[in-house]
Amino acid sequence: PSKRGGGGQGAGVRGGFVPPFVKKAANAAGGGGEDEEGVFSAKTLQMLAGPDGEMPEALQKLDPKLVEQVCNEVMDSSANVRWEDIAGQAQAKRLIQELVVWPMLNPHLFKGARAPPKGVLLFGPPGTGKTLIGKAVASNIHATFFNISASSLTSKWIGEGEKMVRALFAVAQCMQPAVIFIDEIDSILSARKSDGEHEASRRMKTELLVQMEGCDPNSAERRVLLVGATNRPEELDEAARRRMPKQLYIPLPCEEARRQMIDRQLGPGAGVKADLSESDLLKIVAKTAGYSGSDMRNLIQEACQGPVRDAVAQHASAVASLSEADLRPIVLRDFQMAAKAQRASVEPAEVARYIEYDAKHGARY
Ligand code: ADP
């Protein structure tokens, strides 16, 4: 019999490797584990159980499998983003700090008429830093960050979306303060009643709206903030808009922001050598009008490959022994070549759509 097999045989977890889905009850020594349903992993217990070692009541009512998945796949404990890490977006950063960060830091001051919204919506093209902003909020208020995309809620947890939403908010509440970031939120909270709208997705939408209603970052019991992101803000229905009254446009990076991205990725400390004059930089910045933040990142990465390719061509057999010192600096030509591989991914027509939406619904600051 195979040494590795036995996936379904439960218990047989020998050696150091613990497959993520093998759940060990804290007290199930020796693991009788016929069926591991109903048992939380030691890691999850450690994270969520109270001082008495018991799971909070709210979580005991949930499907442990979903709680595990929230902890393992949705909770993002690596999120540590500073505001300075986000190039440009000065207005959005300022507004979001006033709107949600300050109230989370000082709930006593921000109550009543100063009470923060239950959620905020970030809209704009893909790759402009919406997720980064969600992470920065969480990092700033020392909150646990949960990151999920609506498409994974509908595709990965088919039919269980509603329960997953409930599990997500329940775990977030136990780990509060918490920030829940839901990407593509329009696909759950869409106003469209498409023919194909299944009962399951309607129930998920209702559940999300109910949970959002309960998100009161101002209340001592529930310091959970929802940050929704979308590329299609016009699809949201009224109930969703009411719960996310502030809708912030996160546009493509301006010239200055693109310049910042280059400076940071090629600057001192970045570990690469570049030889770019001021006029080269101005050319790159001008040439990248319409690029998103992630387009910029890809472009710069591609340009960084230029010197490596040249070095490899010169010493064909020595790839493994090349070091940064063997490489020529990155020059304008590398960017010119890279721009052929990485073009702007957002269509101007799409940008025009956001601008129009922003004029009507965007938060002003
Ligand atoms: P979105 O959520 O808007 O689709 P992300 O925040 O996930 O975009 O950004 C994707 C990647 O692009 C980031 O991890 C980062 O490398 C880069 N990026 C995008 N916008 C910015 C920005 N404003 N400043 C720095 N990097 C950015």
Nearest-5° Cα angle at 146, 206 to 364: 75
Q: What are phi and psi of 202, to 5 degrees?
A: -65, -40
Residue 6 has pLDDT above 50, yes or no: no
Q: List CB contacts of 126: < 8 A, sequence separation 6 or more.
A: 231, 292, 294, 345, 346
The answer to whether the complex's ipTM is over 0.95 is yes
Distance 282 CA to ligand 1 centre (A): 22
Ligand 1 pocket, Cβ-based, cut-off 6 angstroms: 86-89, 126-132, 229, 253, 261, 293-294, 297
Residues 180 and 168 sit within 8 Å (Cβ to Cβ): yes
pLDDT score for 197: 59
**CB neighbours of residue 39 within 10 Å:** 21
Distance 253 CA to ligand 1 centre (A): 10
Q: Whose CA is nearest to atom 27 of ligand 1?
A: 293
Give CA–CA dist 324/130, Å, rounded.
33
How many percent of the chain have pLDDT more than 70? 85
Place of tokens 């809708």: 247
pLDDT score for 283: 98
The strand pairing partners of 246, in sequence order, are 120
Mutate to test the pocket of ligand 1, among 297, 298, 300, 342 (most ligand atoms within 8 A of CB): 297
Distance 129 CA to ligand 1 centre (A): 4
Identity of the residue numbered 18:
V
Cis peptide before 253 (omega within 30 of 0): no
Distance 77 CA to ligand 1 centre (A): 18
Instruction: Identify the CA nearest to 76 among candidates 188, 168, 212, 151.
Output: 168
Q: How far apart are the first and last CA of the chain?
A: 67
Nearest-5° Cα angle at 188, 142 to 361: 75
pLDDT score for 233: 95
Distance 317 CA to ligand 1 centre (A): 36
Distance 109 CA to ligand 1 centre (A): 32
pTM of the model: 0.85
Q: List CB contacts of 160: < 8 A, sequence separation 6 or more.
A: 66
pLDDT score for 24: 40
Give CA–CA dist 234/254, Å, rounded.
24
For residues 307 and 20, which has the higher predicted lDDT (pLDDT)? Answer: 307
What is the SS3 string spanning 90-114? HHHHHHHHHHHHHHHHCCCCCCHHH
Q: List CB contacts of 42: < 8 A, sequence separation 6 or more.
A: 24, 26
Least trusted range by pLDDT, from 1-15, 121-135, 200-214, 277-291? 1-15
For residue 183, give the ligand 1 atom closest to its CA.
Answer: 2
Mutate to test the pocket of ligand 1, among 130, 132, 184 (most ligand atoms within 8 A of CB): 132
332-345 pLDDT, tens digit each: 999 999 999 999 99
